[in-house]
Amino acid sequence: MDIRLNSSKLGTKEYWDKFYKTEHQNFRDHDDTGECWFDDSGAEDRMVQFIAEKIEEQAITTNGNAPFKVLDLGTGNGHLLFALGDELEELDVNAEYTGIDYSADSVQFAHHIAQEKYSLRQFTFQRVDLLSDDAFLSEKFDILLDKGTLDAIALNQEPLPQFDGRIGMQVYSSQIEKLMHSDSIFLITSCNFTEEELTHLVTSGTLLEKWDRIEFPSFEFGGAKGSTVCSVAFRKGRE
Ligand SMILES: C[S@@+](CC[C@H](N)C(=O)[O-])C[C@H]1O[C@@H](n2cnc3c(N)ncnc32)[C@H](O)[C@@H]1O
């Protein structure tokens, strides 16, 4: 399966720096916490509910007294982490939340929101480029989330010298795999790929296996069925 998207400005760091600089200013001026990607599809709520239900069913275990470690990949304004934080607090889960993003403006913005609105909780935001900051990749997390980040990475076709000229979307899943232990769950939501394409991209060349999926309402057009976004959860199989 050869999957490629066209290049777009949404695949560049300059775009996201400018975007989060503006959003941060809006927050300072109007207390607006900014864009929630795929809000039309209710993606954030569904991702949060999916994790909460899996915890309640004990399909995901939360480490007893040790903090349950949650990582948001390409966190933007951190909204998904804050929403999950609210939900897991209700379930009495002792969790630590880390958001990473390659845009320093995103990190400053999310950190500012955490300080102003969630000061009592355990949120950390860090500038990390998933495709080059290998030092970070030695850490392991229990839940890894991606909402729209692979979509953005896939819009950049620049060959990466550190990966023998392969492009970001071709190396993304092996980078994610490094952040996972054998019980970690990786939940990703995309608007650019079908469920089949996403599964192919994530599982090719890694130990990751499809574990579950989130149902979204589907539409029918010209006899073909589709939905605007898809979310798939993966687990790391044994070596
Ligand atoms: C479509 S936005 C989604 C933001 C957030 N997940 C949300 O749902 O609001 C894509 C995000 O991916 C980040 N990003 C893109 N490439 C990245 C990379 N190589 N490493 C880390 N973050 C990246 C961008 O800065 C941006 O915040």
Select from 101, 131, 145, 153 the residue to mutate for testing ligand 1; criterion: most ligand atoms less than 8 Å from CB: 101
Residue 128 reports pLDDT greater than 90: yes
The protein residue whose alpha carbon is closest to atom 4 in ligand 1 is 76
CATH superfamily of 9-217+224-236: Vaccinia Virus protein VP39 (3.40.50.150)
Share of the chain above pLDDT 90, in %: 79
Share of the chain above pLDDT 70, in %: 95
- What pLDDT band is residue 12 in, cutting at 50, 70 and 90? very high
Question: Would you say how long the chain is, in residues?
Answer: 239
Domain borders along the chain are 9-217+224-236
At 225 the pLDDT is: 65
Integer-rounded Cα Rg, in Å, for the chain is 17
Q: Is the distance from the beta carbon of residue 190 to the nearest atom of ligand 1 less than 6 Å?
A: no
Dihedral, 42, 43, 45, 48 alpha carbons, nearest 10: 170
Residue 188 reports pLDDT greater than 70: yes
CB 233 within 8 A of CB 185: yes
- Closest ligand 1 atom to residue 72 Cα is 6
42 exposure class (CB count in 10 Å sphere: 0-12, 13-18, 19+): middle
The protein residue whose alpha carbon is closest to atom 13 in ligand 1 is 74
H and E: helices and strands count for the chain? 7, 9
- Closest ligand 1 atom to residue 20 Cα is 27
| Token code pair at residue 110 | 């999310």
**Range with top average pLDDT, 31-45, 59-73, 137-151, 208-222:** 137-151
- What pLDDT band is residue 177 in, cutting at 50, 70 and 90? very high
Q: Could you tell me the distance, in angstroms and rounded to a whole number, from the CA of residue 146 to the centre of ligand 1?
A: 8
Q: Is the distance from the beta carbon of residue 148 to the nearest atom of ligand 1 less than 6 Å?
A: yes
- What pLDDT band is residue 36 in, cutting at 50, 70 and 90? confident
Q: Dump pLDDT digits (tens) for 132-151.
A: 988 888 899 999 999 999 99
Residue 74 reports pLDDT greater than 70: yes
Dihedral, 63, 55, 78, 194 alpha carbons, nearest 10: 120
Residue 4 reports pLDDT greater than 80: no
Residue 226 reports pLDDT greater than 70: no
| Token code pair at residue 83 | 């929403």
At 217 the pLDDT is: 79
At 38 the pLDDT is: 87
